[in-house]
Amino acid sequence: MATPYTQARNLPLPPSSLIQSRTYIVTGANTGLGLAAAQNLALLGAARVILAVRNLSAGEAAKAQIDAAVADATTGVKTKVEVWYLDLSVFSSIKAFVKRADAELERVDGLIENAAVGAGGGERAEGHRLTVAVNVVGTLLLGVLMLPVMARKAKEKEGDTPRVVVVTSRAGFDAREEWEGFGGEPVKGMDGMDGIEAIKLYSLSKLTETFAVHHLAREVITVEETGVIVNLVCPGLCITDLARHAPPEFKEQLRQLQETAGRTADDGSRTLLHAVTAGAESHGMLLHSCEDGEKDVPDWVKDDLAGQKKTWEAVARELETVEPGCVGKMVA
């Protein structure tokens, strides 16, 4: 994790020309980075912003905040902000959300997969630890199901290249010892670990995303094949309520880190907007601080191509269990 002296602040927003008239989905948009990203998208002139949230009342409060911010800005922007239900810990909810997006949205220019949890090791959902179900299986299931929808709509409308952005964390790079003990089966490994701290489980879930997406984007779904850019972004250490459902020890550890090195949610959200407007060169890459972050990926992650492949294949098996045929349909 970056220190207060190396973590850039006052990050830039992308040009409004890259956002205007486009449609975006932001998961976990009722609070923290997701809310800040959705608000910045609206202020920059997005035509439509979908707040994909588990708590609809909190989502409506977020919508009211965004609408008020846009009205106060007096820019003439008329973004349509909507609150849609999505619970990444319930796989049927993910499938229903994708069907709704396909039916009701004429275009989807960007999917920002921001939602995540840092829950204790004992909580479970869909047969997995809650952190694994949401941060790994649910997040990648949503991306895999949305990708062909986004590609088809862009082709039909002759629109710009859509982006799928997976929000990850470089904190996972501190979990090498546990990772190497998984033997290429991180989902089973995390589900089977006893007594694991919530902060360590969170880090490992994000490391799984990084390994899986590196292989997925570079070896399975090229931009030429799908017409969709897929990248990863680490927003850095930000002052948000990520740990609101976590055990007290995780909350305290995170609070101390936030006090010494945290970016504001608005500043951190700018990394998400950079990723959702980044060019084809970002496909399969880790971004952070509104720039290429691959240079900060350690060699034991970057060079382990076999491990990346095994991780993606392990995750893909889980996705196929939930929705048979979904992986193959990405490039159909």
Is residue 18 scored above 60 in pLDDT? yes
Is residue 176 scored above 90 in pLDDT? yes
Mean pLDDT score, 9-18: 93
Q: Which class for 132: exposed (0-12), middle (13-18), buried (19 or more C-beta within 10 A)?
A: buried
The pLDDT of residue 88: 98
Say which residue, 250 or 206, is predicted with more confidence. 206
0.85 surpassed by pTM: yes
pLDDT band at 250 (very low <50, low <70, confident <90, very high): low
- Total domains present in the chain: 1
Mean pLDDT score, 270-283: 98
Domain membership of residue 195 (yes or no) is yes
Tens of pLDDT along 181-199?
999 999 999 999 888 888 8
* 45-49, 131-135, 243-247: range with lowest mean pLDDT: 243-247
Average pLDDT over the chain, rounded to an integer: 92
| Torsion, Cα of 133, 136, 141, 143 (10° steps) | 140
Domain membership of residue 8 (yes or no) is no
Domain membership of residue 97 (yes or no) is yes
pLDDT band at 65 (very low <50, low <70, confident <90, very high): very high
Is residue 3 scored above 60 in pLDDT? no
Is residue 258 scored above 70 in pLDDT? no
What is the span of the domain harbouring residue 218?
A: 16-331
Element spanning 70, H or E: helix 56-73
Cα atoms found within 13 Å of the Cα of residue 309, Cβ hemisphere only: 5
Domain membership of residue 140 (yes or no) is yes
Mean pLDDT score, 215-227: 94
Closest listed residue to residue 51, CA positions, set 101, 106, 117, 102:
101
Which position has the token pair 């975006």? 24
Domain membership of residue 7 (yes or no) is no
Tens of pLDDT along 96-128?
999 999 999 999 999 999 999 988 768 899 999
Q: Is 156 helix (H, G, I), strand (E, B) or coil?
A: helix
Domain membership of residue 1 (yes or no) is no
Domain membership of residue 3 (yes or no) is no
Q: Could you tell me if 268 and 235 are in contact, meaning their C-beta atoms sit under 8 angstroms apart? A: yes
The pLDDT of residue 6: 54
- What angle (nearest 5°) sits at the alpha carbon of residue 307, between those of residues 305 and 311? 120
CATH number at residue 249: 3.40.50.720
Tens of pLDDT along 75-96?
677 899 999 999 999 999 999 9
Domain membership of residue 257 (yes or no) is yes
The pLDDT of residue 2: 44
